[in-house]
Amino acid sequence: MTSPTSHYLDVTGQPWDQRRPGVHWKVLWRDGDRQTVLVRYEPGAVIPRHRHLGDEQIFVIEGEVEDDTGVARAGAFARRPPGCVHTVRSPRGALVLAVMSGGTEPVGGPEVAPQAL
């Protein structure tokens, strides 16, 4: 019986996908509703208010991101449990590694954009 092998990805060769103005993703791995992505926030970028249907874990590599409950700066880890509702902002820009399961859904209010996150 052969064992599974490691998978390697040349991240520098992967294109950035603009998910919304000022927010770009590189999907590193995806399996169903689970995924690992690099997220690059341009200064001033905002992800409108949304609810997590699964959990999200982030590690901030550069810069900082903030939400309704706090700020995560370079070197910080944060976890958003299923059901967490927040708006994400990056006033000065950031590079974040995010591991997510489930999706998100917009939550009513003036900041909600018509597109899915």
Concatenated DSSP letters of 77-100? EEEE-TT-EEEEEETT-EEEEEEE
Tell me: pLDDT of 109 over 80: no
Average pLDDT, the chain: 91
Phi then psi for 55, rounded to 5 degrees? -100, 165
Tell me: pLDDT of 25 over 50: yes
Tell me: pLDDT of 113 over 50: no
pTM summary value: 0.86
Tell me: pLDDT of 32 over 50: yes
Tell me: pLDDT of 31 over 90: yes
Phi then psi for 12, rounded to 5 degrees? -65, -25
Tell me: pLDDT of 69 over 60: yes
Q: What is the mean pLDDT of residues 22-27?
A: 97
Amino acid letter, residue 30? R
Q: Which domains does the chain have, with CATH numbers?
A: 15-106 (2.60.120.10)
End-to-end CA distance of the chain: 41
